[in-house]
Amino acid sequence: MITFRTIRPTTDAEYQALVDIHNAAWPDEPATVANWRFADENWRKDKFFHRFVAESQGCFVLQGVYTEPFWANAPGKYHYGYSALPEFEAQADFHTRVYAYVLAQLAEQQPTRLSTGTREDRSHRVAWLEANGFVPKMRFAESELDITNFDFSRFNGAQERVAAAGVEMLTLAELREKDPRWMEKLYDMLWEIEQDVPQVDPPKREPFDQFIKGFDDPDFWPEGWQMAIDPAAAGDDGIGAYVGVSMLGKNQAMPQRINTWLTGVVRSHRRKGIALAMKLRAIEFAIRQGGTTIRTDNEENNPMLGINKVLGFVEIPAGVNYEKVL
């Protein structure tokens, strides 16, 4: 018999039990206790969030969450996601029971839309979703770059051309030492970029006090953030305007596979080769850290995917966001 219940993990052992389920389901996308503990402790207090598990014969066979997305301007919309031990994935009735449990837990919230996601190679999950009224809303192409023998000679002059145009490159670690207003300027630049990142729903700006909590993320890597600065737009601070960023994040579960969080350039400075120059610097950094691959994802029509393919990123099974109107 399978039973469901909410859970509020507090100890590392409790978190580890949940992480173990996830890692068994997604061995190529492992998580850590530190990742999940940080996410839970820093979830927006004004937004709905619960973890849940399914148990069979006294053992966890599933872990999941149901939430109110804080990142989108989408009243009435809720999201759920889960991972289960592989032997349960092929059981359509199991997915039906998960869905029924989540709807029952959300009943008081009166949701109007429900979203979830999976990867396109998870055929049983995809088939269940599409047979039960969920519609694919956005596809995110995941891709990897082997950097063990990266040929920088193919891009000779790319970084020099950006420098000749007056754009400087620094890491965020360097800017934190140099610019007393780095937090505020980064916050403003990222919001300008985020509004042009393809998303299912309009983005909602993160409050500044929530934004700064992100610098405590165990995977935050300021030395791996390549920043583009335009000194000609310095204003009164003598540093320059922040016009682009390419972020690398640590991957504590798989240190040799480094993750790209976001690469973006503000509208006024696009099509000047800045994104390519930042990415080349990021690859140089990743190699120095002993990385062997870089993984990223992009909405399938995002021009950044084209830049990644030029660099040599190879697509792997994509993630797909699904939604159902209730």
Q: What is the pLDDT of residues 179-194, one digit of tens each?
A: 999 999 999 999 999 9
Helices 123-131 and 92-106 pack at an angle, to 10 degrees, of: 60
Among 160, 97, 86, 175, residue whose Cα is nearest residue 123: 86
Residue 325, pLDDT above cutoff 90: yes
Q: What is the CA radius of gyration of the chain?
A: 21
What pLDDT, on the 0 to 100 scale, is given for residue 72? 86
324: helix, coil or strand?
strand
pTM for the model:
0.94
d(CA 301, CA 309): 13
List the chain domain ranges: 2-133, 143-318
Q: How confident is the model at residue 209 (pLDDT cuts 50, 70, 90)?
A: very high
Question: What pLDDT was estimated at residue 288?
Answer: 97
Q: Give the pLDDT of residue 109.
A: 94
What mean pLDDT is reported for the chain?
95
Q: Rounded distance, CA 3 to CA 58, Å? A: 10
Asked if residue 233 has pLDDT above 90, the reply is no
pLDDT computed for residue 92 by the predictor = 86
- Smallest CA-to-CA distance from 44 within 76, 65, 67, 60 is with 67
Q: Which of 12-21, 23-32, 168-177, 231-240 has the lowest mean pLDDT?
A: 231-240
Report yes or no: 247 and 224 within 8 Å, Cβ to Cβ: yes
In this prediction, residue 248 carries a pLDDT of: 98
pLDDT in tens, 195-207: 999 999 999 999 9
Average pLDDT over residues 59-77: 93
In this structure, the number of other CB atoms found within 10 A of the CB of residue 153 comes to 6
In terms of C-beta distances under 8 Å and separation of at least 24 residues, what long-range contacts does 323-326 make, across chains too?
323/113, 323/114, 323/115, 323/134, 323/135, 323/137, 323/200, 324/113, 324/114, 324/115, 324/132, 324/133, 324/134, 324/135, 325/112, 325/113, 325/133, 326/103, 326/111, 326/112, 326/113, 326/114
CATH number attached to the domain at 143-318 = 3.40.630.30
| Nearest-angstrom CA–CA distance, 258 and 149 | 16
Distance CA 209, CA 289 (A): 31
Q: What percent of the chain has pLDDT over 70?
A: 100
Lowest mean pLDDT among 168-172, 258-262, 303-307: 303-307
Q: Give residue 285's pLDDT.
A: 98
313, 296 Cβ separation under 8 angstroms: yes
Name the band, by pLDDT with cuts 50, 70 and 90, for residue 36. very high
Q: How far, rounded to the nearest angstrom, does the alpha carbon of residue 23 sit from its chain's CA centroid?
A: 17
- Cα 14 from chain centroid? 24
Q: DSSP characters for 50-106?
A: EEEEEEETTEEEEEEEEE--TTB--TTEEEEEEEE-HHHHT-HHHHHHHHHHHHHHH
For domain 2-133, give its CATH number from 3.40.50.300, 3.40.630.30, 3.40.50.2300, 1.10.10.10: 3.40.630.30
pLDDT of residue 236: 73
The answer to whether 285 touches 223, Cβ cutoff 8 Å, is yes
Binning pLDDT at 50, 70 and 90, where does residue 71 land?
confident
* Same CATH fold assignment for domains 2-133 and 143-318: yes
Burial tier of 84 (Cβ tally within 10 Å: 0-12, 13-18, 19+): buried
